[in-house]
Chain A
Amino acid sequence: MMTELSLNVLDVAENSVKAKATLIEISVCSDTVKDLMTIVIKDNGCGMDEEQLKRVCDPFYTTRTTRKVGLGVSFFKLAAESAGGEFEITSEKGVGTTVTATFVISSIDRMPLGDMTSTMHSLITLNTDTDFVYRYRVDEREFVLDTRELREILEGVPFNVPDVSDYIREYLSENKKETDGDIIL
């Protein structure tokens, strides 16, 4: 199991990278009144057919060849369901996949969200050819990071050169602070 939800997000988004997505949209939205956190990971990768989709929440299903169990999706599903939430995965071959997980914020069995800044920073700087749209929302406040906008400004300077990589990390952490006032979610 993971120790924080942001690690599940990293792991599930890595499936999207493996599925050759060119655009991965990740949103983490918390509604403190409804006591609900919703995490969505949506990609335009290769998608799955019905048969694959049915089996994807089964830990013994994987298309990997190095070991016989795939754990990523089942871990995330378990994390949501044990925190009083729900889990859904929809997919269409050739179109893409969307994973939605909800969590009751106050549930004692909910893992903390953890370091989403590190998760997004790792995803963006490791997969420099993939675009990401990251939306982080807490009640009425939100911020969005769209790498397509950064890409346009950078004119070919890659995301993983130190200055740009540092800028992205600071952008994520400063905006997070302004959005959630540094409360621990």
Chain B
Amino acid sequence: MKSLEELKAIREKMQGQVGLRKEDETTTRVVVGMATCGIASGARPVLNAFVEGVAAKGLNDKVVVTQTGCIGLCQYEPIVEIMEPGKEKVTYIKMTPEKAVEVIDKHLVRGQIVAEYTFK
């Protein structure tokens, strides 16, 4: 069973870091649709893939993964919107965990939009 002592150690480590920055106007937002339509079509594993991938690539300082409700394009769910400061919003549709890995690599790390997965 995991102990709460372990959590204390994590707190001490985190408090010693400057990396605990709050979201601000330079933060990139990855927004996953988590209404019924999104969840039913597989949004939860897509969300997981983004959370894990963003952490694995060390992007937590500049990227937050959040959720939204139904944006009215239910037939294209799971939908993920990427909002980078000063850029136009990019909407990825019919996402899967595999596509998420690719989007993290190309879009979030290298700044290249993966056009074939976007909504046009």
Contact = CB atoms under 8 A, between A and B. Distances in A.
Interface of A: 1-2, 7, 10-11, 14, 18, 64, 66-67, 70-72, 75, 115, 118-119, 122, 125-126, 143, 149-150, 153-155, 157-158, 160-165, 167, 170-171, 174-175, 178
B10 A178 contact: no
12 contacts: A18-B69, A67-B74, A75-B36, A75-B40, A118-B45, A119-B44, A122-B34, A122-B44, A122-B47, A126-B66, A157-B11, A165-B51
Nearest to A143: B1
Given A67-B74, A122-B48, A14 B2 contact: no
Contact of A163 (B8, B13, B70): B13
A83 to B, nearest CB: 18
A153 B4 contact: yes
Interface of B: 1-2, 4, 6-8, 10-11, 13-15, 20, 34-37, 39-40, 44-45, 47-48, 51, 55, 60, 64, 66-67, 69-72, 74
Chain B: interface secondary structure? Answer: helix
Contact of B36 (A72, A126, A160, A178): A72
Contacts of B40: 1-2, 7, 11, 71, 75
Given A163-B10, A174-B2, 18 more contacts: A2-B39, A2-B40, A14-B34, A66-B71, A71-B36, A75-B40, A122-B47, A126-B66, A126-B67, A150-B4, A154-B10, A154-B11, A157-B14, A157-B20, A160-B64, A167-B10, A171-B2, A178-B1
A101 B13 CA distance: 41
A67 B72 contact: yes
Given A1-B40, A157-B20, A175 B2 contact: yes
A118 B70 contact: no
Contacts of A10: 34, 39, 44
A28 to B, nearest CB: 16
A7 B11 contact: no
A163 B13 CA distance: 9
**Which interface residue of A70, A157, A158, A174 has the most chain B CB atoms within 10 A?**
A157
